[in-house]
Amino acid sequence: MGMDLKSKRIAILSPVAWRTPPKEYGAWETVASNITEGLVSRGFKNVTLFATRDSITNAKLEACIEKGYEEDPSQNPKVSECLHISKIMERADEFDLIHSNYDFWPLTFSRLIKTPMLTTIHGFSEPDILRVYRSYKDTYYVSISDSDRDAELPYVATVYNGIDLSNITFSETGGDKLVHYGRIHPDKGTHLAIEVAKESGVDLIIAGIIQDQDYFDDKVGPYINDTSIKFIGPVNPKQRDELLKQACAVLHLNTIPERFGLVMAESMAAGVPVIAMDLGSCREVVADGQTGFLVKNVAQAVESVGKIGTIERKKCREHVEANFSIDCMVRGYEKVYEEIFKRESEK
């Protein structure tokens, strides 16, 4: 089925909060972009990306939203989402498969179209959305880690997110700073990273969008002094590359179970060991003692900072190349697509 698979008409549905790929933050848009570009580079001939009009892709781009609603305050997000999702649904019969990276909403249209739909579940943002997922078990689901699964859902497979290694420079030596980047939110444990930096006596650089302003003002802002603890705001891929060159370790002290953790994969790709809270997918992404350390609290994290020198940075990069590259991810999705088409042909 190899060559036949690559002639199938595949539509990738990306969110429209940000551009695909995003200029700075935008995890789901990043993954949707990597899937799209990965399919094209592996020889898929008919790939269409549904995203914002300012998106960048080697596939065919379809858009009805000029730019992401997070970047354009004049938009009502629900209006943009409605128009965007309905556009792909109205054209569903032009495709052999719709691959949705758009959470639960498109599922509610799935029985109104004949085209099979695959949903990559990027996480359950709140418990109530499970009502939708569980109501549409006659569709196809992929999880992004084995840990981030709902016991009631029939998954086709787990496919780990793949990252673009071409814009992450491997550094054999690394710097002398601790780094924490991503969204500034209690879930991501920015306040714990500050604690670890203070207790270990190692300088910390914090980067990312502020997603919870009250949390930032209360738990993060008061500790920023522009010397031992710096905050540099959101970073684009080029700035992230420069940031990781300064890092001896990245602190990923999530307070809730991690769904996948692009930050961990990106950091290790640069050769930077990761100190991660042992919750959710972290043990699937970080090889404990080889590419970083899994910890249960701040004290263990501080202890791990002292052991960072025992990690071979080259092993960090090799671990990502073997498990979390775009090519690895797309090969995983090729198997999923084949399975879907096989099941559809047997109906």
pLDDT at position 184 is 97
> Cis link prior to 21 (omega < 30° from 0)?
yes
The amino acid at 72? D
Using DSSP's 3-state secondary structure scheme, residue 257 falls into coil
Q: Is 101 helix (H, G, I), strand (E, B) or coil?
A: coil
Helix/strand/coil for 177 = strand
The DSSP element (H or E) to which 282 belongs, if any, is: helix 282-285
- Lookup: tokens for 22: 């995003």
- Could you tell me what percent of the chain has a pLDDT over 70? 99
> In DSSP terms, which residues pair with 257 in a beta bridge?
none
- The CA–CA distances, whole Å, from 173 to 252, 272, 298 equal 21, 9, 26
Let me know: does 176 contact 318? Beta carbons within 8 Å: no
Pairing of strands 204-207, 140-143: unpaired
Residue whose C-alpha is closest to residue 194's, from 277, 268, 246, 253: 253
In order of 161, 303, 320, the CA distances from 27 in angstroms are 10, 30, 17
Tokens for 235, please give them: 């970073």
Per-residue pLDDT reduced to its tens digit, 189-238: 999 999 999 999 999 999 999 999 999 999 999 999 999 999 999 999 99
pLDDT of residue 3 exceeding 80? no
End-to-end CA distance of the chain: 18
The 10 Å CB-count burial string (b at 16+, else e) for 207-233 is bbebebeebbeebbeebeeeeebebee
Contacts of 87 (CB under 8 A, 6+ apart): 50, 62, 64
Average pLDDT score over the chain: 96
- Under DSSP, is residue 295 helix (H, G, I), strand (E, B) or coil? strand
Is it the case that residue 111 has pLDDT exceeding 60? yes
- pTM for this model (two decimals): 0.92
Phi/psi of residue 69, each to 5°? Answer: -65, -20
Alpha-carbon gap, residue 52 to 266, rounded angstroms:
25
Type of residue at 326: I
Residue-level pLDDT at 347: 87
Angstrom distance (rounded) from CA 249 to CA 308: 7
Domain ranges for the chain, please list them. 2-162+325-345, 165-323
The HSE-up count of residue 233 (CA atoms within 13 Å, CB side) is: 2
Tens digits of residue pLDDT in 30-47: 999 999 999 999 999 999
Helix, strand, coil percentages (3-state) for the chain, rounded to 5, are 40, 20, 40
Work out the average pLDDT over 77-102: 98
Tokens 């404990």 locate to 288
Please write the tens of the pLDDT for every residue from 265-299. 999 999 999 999 999 999 999 999 999 999 999 99
Q: Which CATH number applies to 2-162+325-345: 1.10.287.310, 3.40.50.970, 3.40.50.2000, 3.90.1150.10? A: 3.40.50.2000
Cβ burial, residue 143 (10 Å; 0-12/13-18/19+): buried
The predicted pLDDT at position 25 comes to 82
The whole-number pLDDT of residue 1 equals 43
pLDDT given for residue 42 in this prediction: 96
pLDDT of 186 over the 60 cut: yes
Domain 165-323 sits in CATH at 3.40.50.2000
Contact call for residues 118 and 143 (beta carbons, < 8 A): no
CATH topology identical between 2-162+325-345 and 165-323: yes
